[in-house]
């Protein structure tokens, strides 16, 4: 896979555009507009409790329409998630003023606001489906709404602490804007109050006395403290922002740095080129995120606030240390840059910039002999860290391969003049897979007679690695048994139809020779796959599904019937030890979680496509979470006997508790949400027979999924867990998306590096979770079928079918 393509970013394409959230609103309005045109017959005046509800729609009809017109929306729960997003945006309005979209006979109306975005990409009628696909990317990020709706009024004891934590996460730019607004509002309120209490003469004297009074925050004053801002505002002090409205008393230093100097102490340094800011640095304490009084001079350092990509890279190289270990701040800056550089520059841009720094000539004509190899070693150190961080991600990028070959040739030429580069040369030989000490190619003037062998070895190494990656690449594929139930199979891309059929036959307990794999297209055409066919290449075409059919004596293909499928269902899970089952779930989730590259979260957040070749592993884990949730509901609702159904619910509660004990919060959330789905939670007869201790345990487990206070219960519990641990990935993605949509990527044509630091800091939490490895504990031999059972879950993904099963086993009274 390649990183040469720049991530699609609205700020780069159109500087005047708004944040990515504007695209979501445009997509929502496009969906609303096409619905009002194509489904005008569903918009009617309806009788409501308090009178006539004008031009309203029914929630279940909205879901049905979306499923009918969007083949890529596979189930009702996904369609509900799309309409929920429109409800959150205010495009869809609930007549009952409910916060949650209901797939029932609930009334909804549409807002009348039109899209005012000048560069709306969904303006044309035929683009509305692309808007729905964009909204589908945000559906997994929507927090679980188990207790989010109709929350009772309650006193929040941690309100002050929560506010402080939220304010601490704001960037300095946001803090300044927030403080200025608070100061302005408080000052207007105070003046209005004085006008009411004082006579005109007193008011005139007061205004004269206050004229010209100016308060400037000193460096020791923390602008993030709301108490300080409120105090200044009540005293009617005009609020001054040092980097925008400060009087013209800054000095132009020889290195062209504009320095803001309150009380002769530097707090902000702005490097300029042609009267334009190219780098903004802020002075902070080495031990805290903001300056504090009483620190020694050597405890202060400058951090990057914003800048051009080239200047940020230059500052990073100047900050690197070669002989001593990197300090924490420099190491963090390096990691922030490498994790997020794809947001503001391509891989080719970075390669060219590094080559310029490596081959740069001294501008003044004289340079200390020690400075030249030092600069080259810093560039090589950065390249080494870059390739180490990205590992397999960069092996398919043509720009990087050419860059590594070019800089390797330069090192070979320079090592004779600067023997200190010998260590870096060995590192590059390891990177390129070349184990010879001084291998050169045709461009080196020193060893031309070895050129052909080196070029062949290098090419062979890259091709060999690329082939290995493709052969071992695994994906999930769904093999449908009936129209609404399927087996989830994790298999290699190169798997044949016979290999997949063998797994499915074992799962559904049928003889392999009696089954056949059939690809059914969207139009209803059927194509039987031969045993040696590459199943995935043919079955993964757009709008097609892969079914398993039975063969009769005449080799006629017959699909499985829904009723027959239910009758053959056996509750095998009751005979499996709950700890072993939870352990197998954890091992499988860990293999998926451990394969996720940190860059996948960056691509998922910034890329408009949201998924694709750069987010394969992340998408697999998100899909797994959804399948485990459906698996819980499927197993319970396919059990027609009440006593066994009670045992199943008890077993899933215990499995959820074991997953929590094994620090697998991804499956833990999925199981709890599966037990809380509407089709399962409505089984009153089943829940009434659950013993009290299991109900109490489930209530305790459910409290961890409480979304109030930004999932405080989950965050506190997860923070206390030691690594290795598996987080609830949709919530981690929500955190990254919140930072992205709440902060601009570019400020005055400069990269907002504070925002990228916050995103990188959140993404780095993956490393803490993967500091150690899970002990490869193997389930007992008597449960040898456990691994294929967990790896290939059999689920029903149609919410309507699940509701029908729920009403069949426990009809409404």
Residues in CB range of 256: below 8 A, 6 or more apart: 271, 272, 273
Q: How far is CA 693 from CA 179, 652, 696, 775, in A?
A: 51, 14, 5, 31
DSSP 601-629: HHHHHH-SS--SGGGHHHHHHHHHHHHHH
**Tokens linked to 86:** 């429109």
What pLDDT does 759 receive? 94
* 490 DSSP β-pair partners: 476
Q: 747: helix, coil or strand? A: strand
Least confident of 197-211, 620-634, 734-748: 197-211
Residue 88: how many other CB atoms lie within 10 Å: 16
Look at strands 51-58 and 107-110 and give their pairing. Answer: antiparallel
Q: Are 670 and 705 in contact (CB under 8 A)?
A: no
Cα–Cα dist 175/170, whole Å: 6
Average confidence (pLDDT) over 460-466: 28
| Residue whose entry in the numeric block shows the structure tokens 């990087």 | 400
Q: Under CATH, which number does the domain 257-470 receive?
A: 1.20.870.10
Q: What is the dihedral of CA 65, 70, 72, 73, to 10 degrees?
A: -20
* pLDDT tens column, 272-292: 888 888 898 888 776 544 333
* pLDDT tens column, 764-803: 999 999 988 876 666 665 556 688 788 878 788 888 889 9
Q: How far is CA 412 from CA 441, 445, 459, in A?
A: 10, 10, 18
Distance of CA 30 to the CA centre of its chain: 25
Cα–Cα dist 17/117, whole Å: 8
Q: Find, among 719, 716, 653, the residue nearest to 680 by Cα.
A: 653
What pLDDT does 166 receive? 56
Backbone angles phi, psi at 701, to 5 degrees: -65, -40
CATH 3.40.50.300 fits 572-809, yes or no: no
Cα 323-329-331 angle, rounded to 5 deg: 55
**Tokens linked to 309:** 């990509």
Least confident of 55-69, 487-501, 545-559, 596-610: 545-559
Cα–Cα dist 716/706, whole Å: 12
Range list for CATH 1.10.840.10 in the chain: 572-809
Cα–Cα dist 212/763, whole Å: 48
Q: How far is CA 308 from CA 9, 282, 643, 694, in A?
A: 16, 15, 67, 58
| 52 pLDDT tier (thresholds 50, 70, 90) | confident
Residues in CB range of 794: below 8 A, 6 or more apart: 481, 485, 486, 487, 488, 507, 508, 631, 634
| 523 pLDDT tier (thresholds 50, 70, 90) | low
Range list for CATH 3.10.20.90 in the chain: 475-567
Average pLDDT value for the chain: 73
| 668 pLDDT tier (thresholds 50, 70, 90) | very high
Q: Are 694 and 655 in contact (CB under 8 A)?
A: no
**Tokens linked to 216:** 């400037």
Residue 728 pLDDT exceeds 80: yes
Residue 557: how many other CB atoms lie within 10 Å: 15
Cα–Cα dist 209/213, whole Å: 8
What pLDDT does 232 receive? 45
Residue 228: how many other CB atoms lie within 10 Å: 14
Helix (H), strand (E) at residue 485: strand 485-492
| Residue whose entry in the numeric block shows the structure tokens 């302005």 | 184
Residue 202: how many other CB atoms lie within 10 Å: 11
* pLDDT tens column, 322-342: 766 667 778 888 899 999 998
Q: Find, among 402, 487, 498, the residue nearest to 441 by Cα.
A: 402
Q: How far is CA 304 from CA 222, 310, 336, 755, in A?
A: 19, 13, 11, 11
Residue 628 pLDDT exceeds 90: yes
Cα–Cα dist 477/544, whole Å: 12
Half-sphere exposure of 595 (CA within 13 A, CB side): 20
Average confidence (pLDDT) over 674-679: 93
* pLDDT tens column, 413-427: 888 888 888 888 887
What pLDDT does 96 receive? 82
Q: 434: helix, coil or strand? A: coil
Give, to the nearest 10 degrees, the angle between helix 371-390 and helix 328-340. 60
* 485 DSSP β-pair partners: 796
Average confidence (pLDDT) over 240-245: 38
CATH 2.170.190.11 fits 10-141, yes or no: no
Q: How far is CA 367 from CA 363, 373, 374, 476, in A?
A: 9, 11, 11, 58
Residue 709: how many other CB atoms lie within 10 Å: 15
Is 608 or 408 the better-scoring residue by pLDDT? 408
Cα–Cα dist 286/140, whole Å: 38
Is 498 or 809 the better-scoring residue by pLDDT? 809
* pLDDT tens column, 115-162: 655 556 676 767 788 888 888 878 776 655 544 444 444 434 444 444
Long-range contact pairs involving 360-364 (C-beta distance under 8 Å, separation at least 24)? none
What pLDDT does 297 receive? 44
Q: Are 800 and 60 in contact (CB under 8 A)?
A: no
Residue 264 pLDDT exceeds 50: no
Helix (H), strand (E) at residue 372: helix 371-390
Peptide bond into 645 cis (omega under 30): no
Cα 311-315-319 angle, rounded to 5 deg: 170
| 716 pLDDT tier (thresholds 50, 70, 90) | very high
| Residue whose entry in the numeric block shows the structure tokens 């009084």 | 293
Cα–Cα dist 685/435, whole Å: 69
Cα–Cα dist 470/488, whole Å: 21
CATH 3.40.640.10 fits 475-567, yes or no: no
Residue 517 pLDDT exceeds 90: no
Is 74 or 680 the better-scoring residue by pLDDT? 680
Average confidence (pLDDT) over 354-379: 73
DSSP 533-594: SBHHHHHTSTTEEEEEEEE-TT--EEPPPHHHHHHT---GGGGS-HHHHHHHHHHHHHHHHT
Least confident of 160-174, 436-450, 644-658: 436-450
Average confidence (pLDDT) over 348-369: 73
Average confidence (pLDDT) over 503-524: 73
Q: How far is CA 758 from CA 74, 285, 305, 529, 664, in A?
A: 35, 18, 12, 49, 25
Q: 304: helix, coil or strand? A: strand
Cα 500-504-508 angle, rounded to 5 deg: 175
Cα–Cα dist 516/552, whole Å: 11
Range list for CATH 1.10.10.10 in the chain: 10-141
What pLDDT does 682 receive? 94
| 394 pLDDT tier (thresholds 50, 70, 90) | low
Q: Find, among 415, 422, 403, the residue nearest to 357 by Cα.
A: 403
Order of strands, edge to edge, in the sheet holding 746-747?
A: 257-260, 268-273, 276-285, 300-307, 750-752, 746-747
- What is the SS3 string spanning 161-172? HHHHHHHHCCCH
Q: Find, among 415, 413, 433, the residue nearest to 424 by Cα.
A: 415
Residue 242 pLDDT exceeds 50: no
Q: Note the helical H segments in 90-199.
A: 128-138, 159-168, 172-197
Q: What is the pTM of this model?
A: 0.60
Average confidence (pLDDT) over 576-589: 91
Residues in CB range of 618: below 8 A, 6 or more apart: 596, 600, 601, 604, 611, 729
Average confidence (pLDDT) over 607-626: 78
């Amino acid at each position: 896979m390649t990183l040469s393509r720049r991530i699609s970013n609205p700020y780069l394409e159109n500087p005047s555009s708004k944040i990515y959230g504007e695209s979501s609103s445009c997509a929502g309005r496009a969906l609303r507009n096409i619905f009002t045109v194509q489904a005008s017959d569903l918009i009617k005046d309806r009788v409501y409790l308090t009178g006539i509800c004008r031009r309203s729609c029914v929630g279940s009809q909205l879901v049905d329409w979306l499923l009918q017109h969007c083949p890529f929306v596979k189930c009702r729960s996904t369609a509900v998630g799309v309409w929920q997003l429109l409800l959150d945006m205010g495009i869809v309005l609930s007549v009952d003023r409910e916060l949650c979209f209901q797939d029932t006979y609930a009334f909804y109306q549409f807002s009348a606001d039109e899209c005012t975005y000048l560069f709306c990409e969904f303006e044309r009628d035929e683009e509305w489906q692309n808007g729905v696909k964009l909204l589908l990317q945000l559906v997994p990020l929507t927090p679980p709404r188990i207790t989010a709706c109709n929350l009772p009024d309650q006193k929040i004891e941690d309100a002050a602490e929560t506010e402080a934590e939220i304010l601490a996460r704001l960037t300095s730019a946001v803090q300044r804007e927030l403080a200025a607004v608070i100061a302005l509002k408080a000052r207007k309120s105070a003046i209005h109050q004085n006008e009411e209490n004082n006579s005109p003469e007193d008011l005139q004297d007061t205004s004269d006395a206050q004229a010209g009074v100016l308060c400037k925050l000193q460096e020791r004053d923390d602008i993030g403290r709301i108490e300080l801002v409120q105090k200044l505002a009540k005293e009617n002090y005009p609020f001054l922002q040092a980097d925008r409205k400060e009087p013209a008393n800054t000095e132009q230093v020889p290195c062209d740095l504009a320095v803001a100097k309150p009380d002769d102490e530097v707090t902000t340094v702005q490097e300029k080129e042609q009267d334009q800011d190219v780098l903004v640095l802020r002075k902070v304490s080495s031990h805290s995120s903001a300056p504090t009084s009483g620190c020694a001079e050597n405890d202060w350092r400058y951090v990057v606030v914003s800048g051009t990509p080239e200047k940020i890279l230059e500052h990073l190289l100047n900050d690197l240390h070669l002989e001593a270990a990197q300090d924490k701040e420099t190491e963090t800056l390096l990691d922030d840059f490498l994790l997020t550089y794809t947001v503001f520059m391509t891989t080719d841009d970075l390669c060219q910039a590094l080559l310029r720094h490596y081959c740069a000539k001294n501008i003044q004509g004289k340079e200390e002999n020690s400075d030249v190899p030092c600069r080259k070693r810093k560039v090589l150190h950065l390249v080494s860290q870059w390739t180490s961080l990205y590992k397999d991600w960069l092996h398919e990028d043509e720009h990087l391969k050419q860059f590594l070959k070019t800089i390797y040739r330069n090192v070979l030429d320079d090592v004779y003049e600067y023997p200190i580069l010998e260590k870096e040369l060995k590192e590059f030989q390891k990177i390129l897979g070349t184990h010879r000490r001084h291998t050169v190619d045709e461009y080196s003037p020193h060893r031309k007679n070895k050129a052909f062998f080196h070029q062949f070895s290098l090419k062979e190494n890259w091709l060999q690695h690329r082939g290995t990656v493709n052969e071992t690449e695994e994906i999930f594929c769904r093999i449908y048994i009936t129209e609404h139930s399927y087996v989830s199979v994790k298999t290699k891309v190169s798997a044949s139809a016979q290999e997949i059929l063998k797994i499915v036959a074992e799962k559904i307990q049928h003889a392999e020779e009696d089954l056949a794999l059939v690809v059914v297209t969207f139009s209803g055409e059927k194509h039987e796959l031969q045993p040696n066919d590459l199943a995935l290449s043919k079955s993964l075409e757009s709008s097609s599904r892969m079914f398993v059919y039975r063969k009769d004596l005449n080799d006629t293909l017959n699909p499985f019937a829904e009723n027959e499928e239910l009758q053959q269902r056996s509750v095998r899970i009751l005979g499996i030890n709950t700890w072993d089952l939870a352990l197998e779930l954890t091992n499988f989730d860990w293999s998926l979680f451990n394969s996720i590259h940190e860059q996948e979260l960056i691509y998922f957040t910034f890329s408009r496509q949201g998924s694709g070749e750069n987010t394969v592993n992340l998408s697999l884990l998100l899909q797994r979470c959804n399948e485990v949730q459906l698996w819980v509901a499927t197993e319970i609702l396919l059990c027609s006997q009440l006593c066994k159904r009670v045992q199943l619910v008890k077993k899933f509660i215990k499995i959820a508790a074991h997953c929590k004990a094994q620090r697998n919060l991804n499956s833990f959330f999925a199981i709890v949400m599966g037990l809380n789905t509407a089709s399962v939670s409505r089984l009153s007869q089943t829940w009434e027979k659950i013993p009290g201790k299991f109900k109490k345990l489930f209530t305790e487990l459910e409290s961890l999924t409480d979304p109030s206070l930004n999932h405080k219960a989950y965050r506190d519990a997860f923070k206390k867990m030691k690594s290795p641990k598996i987080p609830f990935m949709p919530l981690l993605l929500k955190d990254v998306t919140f930072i992205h949509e709440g902060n601009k990527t570019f400020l005055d044509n400069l990269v907002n590096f504070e925002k990228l630091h916050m995103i990188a800091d959140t993404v780095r939490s993956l490393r803490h979770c993967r500091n150690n490895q899970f002990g490869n504990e193997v389930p007992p031999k008597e449960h040898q079928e456990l691994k294929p059972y967990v790896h290939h879950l059999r689920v029903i993904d149609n919410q309507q079918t699940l509701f029908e099963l729920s009403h069949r086993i426990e009809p409404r009274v």
